[in-house]
Each structure stands twice: as structure tokens, then as C-alpha cells.
Amino acid sequence: MAVPLTKQKILIVDDVPANISLLGQSLQNRYDILVATNGIDAIRLAQEQPSPDLILLDIMMPGLNGYEVCSRLKRSVITKKIPVIFVTAMGENEDEAKGFEVGGVDYITKPISPAIVRARVQTHLALYDQNRELEKKAAERTREIVHTQEVTIYGMAVLAETRDNETGKHIMRTQHYVKTLAEHLMHSKKYRDYLDESRISLLFKSAPLHDIGKVGIADSILLKPGKLTAEEFEEMKNHTTYGRDAIVKSEIALGSKSTTTFLTLAREIAYSHHEKWDGTGYPEGLSGEDIPLSGRLMAIADVYDALISKRVYKPSFPHKKAVDIILDGKGKHFDPHLVDAFAAIHHTFEKIALKYVDIEETS
């Protein structure tokens, strides 16, 4: 059997030196030993990196007792998974039940038997190692699934955009604009309860699907170099509905809660990113905060990128002109609060545009 390069670490917590000595002597040949004589020091040592692999915790201590220490450890992201074995002279059933309720995995009863201590510690360390290995494999599998999902989404989005003579860089730029704007807003009082890192990550992944409905628009309209007729423009508007309907079908087919959350945002973005704050947009003519926040974010990102990009019907505009146009749209096309946020960070938009510049535009 392979010998580990480093010993596993055991934290012994007891206010009686004789108990610490006996536990330490039982384990020191196999493990590295840390010692705390009170609950506050125990919590501090448990949170230091690398964390202990297991904690032997006395119950009856002055200040914080063992139950309180264990409860605090289990509330911390850093220490909640560390197995805690209570070491106590108490044997009443209600005390054991309380220990398991606060997160303990086992009890060792005083007077201590070194052989039993070693056996219990070895068993729970093996279980802890097994759980960590399973979590590691699950995390790796999740990363593979997420990567596959992102590649598929990106491929679908590129397919839609290239039909409109746009490039994959447009997708990358707009999703980074959305992320940057959302990250700025997450610190504001208005949006801090809605925008967190998890939701912003989902917005970032969802943004590339904003124009997926273009696959349903005829080339004669989508690729027309001149101005669209009224009838053609009405058909062009339908790309929002086509995109929403395609994503709804995906939501129904997949059904997974995490996937549905991602697709819900994608559906909102695809369907509402052409709505306007004053109600003059499409497809439903929504106004104000009736427009989903995801759609309002995407509206600024999409318009900014359209303004700075060359199109068959217009040259590329410089950054300053694009900023002025968006600022002028405050309270009309765009959410005033989001425009204020954009005004504060528009130079970051410019940096993103330069980082993901289309190759064709550099020639």
C-alpha cells in the first residue's frame, strides 16, 4: 500500500491537559496533531489552511462547549465538511442525539481506550477521504457537462449570427458587456438582492442565444443590404418570437432545474432584448420594469455593439458616438438606472470591444 506523502492532521480540543496527552499519545505516530484548549482557539485552528482532516472535540469546556463549537464549524463553508467526533464522559442518549443534531459523526466515551480511538479515527478519515474523492469526481463531471453545454450554445449562437453576416466575436463581446454591466449593478441597492455571482454567470452563458431566432428568418430579409419594407421589418421582428419558442421547447425537453434557470434567462433575453423602456419596442411593447432585467441588460449590450460595428447599411461608429447615442436613449430606449451604470463603466466596454475585435475590421 502506498504511503501518503504527508500525514493527515487531527485537531484535539479539550481543556484538560491529561486528556489531550492521552489522545495525542494514541495518535501521534500516525497523524500530525494540533491542540486547542478552548472553543475559540479550536474554531481558529480549524479555519487555518490546510484545515485539519478530523476533529476530536470535548463537550464540557468553559466558554463555548463542544456542541456550540461544532454548530459554528458546520455553519462555516471552510469547516463544515470536517468530521467531528465528540469525546465525552457523558453517556445519556439525549446528549448523543444532540451531538448528531449539531453535525457530529461519532462519540468516543471516556475513559479513553487508545485502540478504540485509533479505530474510530481511521474509519471516519477513510469515509472523509472517500467523500472528498466522490465530490472531486462529481465536480470534474460537472465541469465536463458545463463545457459541453457552453460549446453547444456557442455553436448554435454562431450559426445564427453568421447568417446575419456577423461573427462569433459579436457573441463574445455582447456576453462580456452584459457580465460587466451586471457586475457593476450587483453592488447597487436596487439590484444586490437579485444579481449575485451565480445569476451573473447564467446571464453570461445565456447572452449568446439572444438572436438564435434569426435562423427562422428568410435570407432575402436577413441579408438584404438596403432598407427593409414595412412587411419585411414585421417579419424580422419575429426573430424574437422564434428564439423564445425554440428555447421554450428546450426547457420542456430538458426539465432540469439548473438547466431551466439558465434557459429561462436565455428565453427572456431572446424575447425581450428589443423592448424599449418607453414602450415603443417589440414584440410586446413592454415598458419600464415590465421588461425583464436580462432583456434590459442585453438591449444596451446589443445596441452598443451594433453601433461600433460595421454593417452593410452603416459604417462603424467610434466609441464616443456610441456612448452618446446610448446616453441620449436614457428613459426612452433604455432603463435609466442601467444607462447610469453604463456611463460609469463605458471605458470597460471599449476595452472589451478592442479585445474581441473582428478580424475583418482590422484590415
**Residues 57-76: pLDDT tens digits?**
999 898 999 999 999 999 98
Q: What is the mean pLDDT of residues 203-215?
A: 89
What are the residue boundaries of the structural domains of the chain, listed by start? 9-135, 163-362
Distances 2 to 5, 6, 83, 121, 187 between C-alpha atoms, Å: 9, 12, 24, 19, 50
Query: Is the pLDDT reported for residue 215 higher than 70?
Result: yes
Higher-confidence position of 250 and 111: 111
pLDDT score of 82: 94
Go through the chain and tell me how many residues it has: 363
Query: Is the pLDDT reported for residue 259 higher than 80?
Result: no
Q: What is the mean pLDDT of residues 357-361?
A: 67
pLDDT score of 248: 86
pLDDT score of 3: 44
Lowest mean pLDDT among 19-23, 144-148, 279-283, 309-313: 144-148
The pLDDT-based confidence of 271 (bands split at 50, 70, 90) is very high
The pLDDT-based confidence of 12 (bands split at 50, 70, 90) is very high
- What type of residue sits at position 122? Q
pLDDT score of 134: 86
Query: Is the pLDDT reported for residue 264 higher than 90?
Result: no
**Residues 139-170: pLDDT tens digits?**
787 677 666 666 666 666 666 665 665 555 88
Query: Is the pLDDT reported for residue 45 higher than 70?
Result: yes
pLDDT score of 258: 47
Q: What is the mean pLDDT of residues 288-311?
A: 95
Q: What fold does the segment set 163-362 form as a domain? A: Hypothetical protein af1432 (1.10.3210)
Share of the chain above pLDDT 70, in %: 86
Q: What fold does the segment set 9-135 form as a domain? A: Rossmann fold (3.40.50)
Higher-confidence position of 45 and 132: 45
**200 DSSP β-pair partners:** none
**Nearest Cα to Cα of residue 291 among 349, 247, 333:** 333
pLDDT score of 158: 63
Query: Is the pLDDT reported for residue 129 higher than 70?
Result: yes
**9-135 and 163-362 agree in CATH topology:** no
- What type of residue sits at position 137? K
**Residues 190-208: pLDDT tens digits?**
998 889 998 999 999 889 8
The alpha-helical segments, DSSP class H, found in 16-167 are 17-27, 39-47, 66-75, 93-101, 114-162
Give the integer Cα–Cα distance in Å for 281 and 273: 9
Share of the chain above pLDDT 90, in %: 58
Indicate the burial class of 348 (C-beta count within 10 angstroms; 0-12, 13-18, 19 or more): middle
pLDDT score of 1: 41
Q: What is the mean pLDDT of residues 239-254?
A: 84
